Amino acid sequence: MARLSSKDALGTCLAQLSGVKEADRSIVDAIRGGDPAAFRELYELHFRRIHNFAVRRLGDAAEAEDVTQEVFEAVYSCLDRFEGKSDLVVWIYGITRNILNNRLRRRGGVRLVSIDDVPPEAAPLDLGPEPLAQARQALGRVRAAIERLPGEQRKMLELRHGKRLNIRKIAQLTGRSEDAVKSSLYRARRTLAAQLPGERLSL
Amino acid sequence: MSERAKQRERTQQSRGGLDARRGATFWDGVEREIEALDVADFALFMGADRLPFEPRPAFAHALSDCLASLVRSRWSN
């Protein structure tokens, strides 16, 4: 079975989202051209997506409203920053993720969304089952490799990348020295990289 | 200073105020999220408008009005 790297899957995903991309491109052009109605169009195109994504990640409707407002304020006040290096929808996704992560960090930990938690109705209709299935398989392989790690390495990895704690905090929590934490993480990453040669790991 | 100039200044201050809350750290975080884009999570984001969560209409309207007001003041200068 051919493996799909994250980069390939993303390319497929984005290629199939051409409708959103085209709409975004014309909206940005219109906003920059001074059309005040264009921002409303952008709002209507992304409002439900941002709001519902925030509800899904936070599990709290009131907080999701705050996040939605923050995202649109950032998009509105900083659209001049948008350089077109990525698609607008990816830029908005980056802003949304960052605001959500900051909020979750203040709560005391980032909750990772498992691919198993993604309901079928959450898959874009035009994405097709194949990229999603391949993403599930890739995540399954990563999860299985993490399960096979020695206990301490797995724990360090979860604290560092699951809860996004810094090295000092992990050392305090586990009673290990910072060097010992770094060493465990290094060994865990090396083991994972050896077990998953075809995957692009962001660790 | 003319009323128009004062209004322009107020608008710029308002925009600056919104932007000032997001410093370099914020934008570094956005860059990181884009760089490390997770396919499954992005797929969830793209399909989130079909999730069975209904935004409160009052909130949707209030935010829309608020943004429209910001946009109007931006382009009235």
Domain ranges of chain A: 18-117, 128-195
What mean pLDDT comes out for the span A106-116?
54
Does residue A127 register a pLDDT over 50?
A: no
Contact yes or no for A96/A120 (Cβ under 8 A): no
Averaged pLDDT of chain A: 74
CA nearest to B25 within chain A: A98
pLDDT value for A139: 66
| pLDDT band (50, 70, 90) for residue A114 | very low
pLDDT value for A54: 94
Does residue A29 register a pLDDT over 50?
A: yes
Positive or negative, the CA dihedral A116, A121, A122, A125 is positive
Contact yes or no for A199/A5 (Cβ under 8 A): yes
What mean pLDDT comes out for the span A139-159?
77
pLDDT value for A83: 76
Alpha helices (H) in B21-56, listed in sequence order: 24-35, 39-47
Contact yes or no for A55/B50 (Cβ under 8 A): no
Question: How far is the C-alpha of B72 from the C-alpha of B14, rounded, in Å?
Answer: 13
A18-117 has which CATH code?
A: 1.10.1740.10
Does residue A122 register a pLDDT over 50?
A: no
pTM of the model: 0.56
Radius of gyration, alpha carbons of chain B: 18
Question: How far is the C-alpha of A156 from the C-alpha of B47, rounded, in Å?
Answer: 32
Does residue A200 register a pLDDT over 70?
A: no
What mean pLDDT comes out for the span A90-100?
92
Instruction: Kindly report the CATH class assigned to A128-195.
Output: mainly alpha
For residues A165 and A55, the model is more confident at A55
Q: Which of B 27-56 lie inside 8 A of A, CB atoms? A: 27, 29-34, 36-53, 55-56
State the best of B42, B61, B74 to mutate against chain A, taking most chain A CBs within 10 Å.
Answer: B42
State the best of B15, B45, B67, B75 to mutate against chain A, taking most chain A CBs within 10 Å.
Answer: B45
The model's pLDDT over A54-93, given as tens digits with 9 standing for 90+, comes to 999 888 889 999 999 999 988 888 887 777 777 888 899 9
Min Cα separation A158/chain B (Å): 17
Question: How far is the C-alpha of B29 from the C-alpha of B47, rounded, in Å?
Answer: 23
Min Cα separation A60/chain B (Å): 11
Contact yes or no for A56/A113 (Cβ under 8 A): yes
Question: How far is the C-alpha of A40 from the C-alpha of A84, rounded, in Å?
Answer: 20
Contact yes or no for A160/A33 (Cβ under 8 A): no
Min Cα separation A64/chain B (Å): 9
Provide the ipTM.
0.71
Question: How far is the C-alpha of A172 from the C-alpha of A166, rounded, in Å?
Answer: 10
| B58 interfacial to chain A (CB closer than 8 Å) | no
